[in-house]
Amino acid sequence: MKTYYSYYKAPIGQLLLAGDGEALSLLGFPRGKMRREHESEWIRDLGPFAQVNAELDRYFAGELTQFTVPLAPSGTAFQERVWSALQEIPYGVTWSYGDLARHIGKPSASRAVGAANGLNPIPVIIPCHRVIGSNGKLTGFGGGLDVKEYLLGLESQRMTPGLNFG
């Protein structure tokens, strides 16, 4: 199967978009532990990402609260269950890892939920940034805590001044 890719210039940096031409399977950050670059055998093509680009434009403008782009994340059944539940967290709302674990019917699986959350291959669109610590503090994020803070600020319509993503 062919993989297509493109880059999207976002306020949080260049985001890598990748997919099979029908659905998005990866959104990579330019830095942080979830930093991603395209593979040499992937095909650069803007066409398959027109809808993703348009929705990201509207999201970063504060106009879009729910993505509709087709997604194809790939993981274990448990990971995919967690990623699906992440999409049920309302825009502008945060849940704790415990909340998410209870939501999927696994109240004692907060750590496993956290691990699955951290491996989300399509952050921003599958909103793993909406998960915070049970104490209300921001916890790790693949694009960096400053990016998580920016995304949460965008969604709460309280932009954090002074953040610079280069």
Q: Which residues are catalytic?
A: 128
Burial of 28 (0-12, 13-18, 19+ CB in 10 A): buried
Name the CA radius of gyration of the chain, rounded: 15
DSSP string, 71-92: B-----HHHHHHHHHHTTSPTT
Buried b (16+ CB within 10 A) or exposed e, 108-118: ebbebbbebbb
HSE-CB at 129 with a 13 A cutoff on CA atoms is 24
> What are the start-end ranges of the E strands in the chain?
4-10, 13-19, 24-28, 43-44, 95-96, 131-132
Of 23, 47, 25, nearest in space to 36 by CA: 25
Residue 78 tokens read as: 């448990």
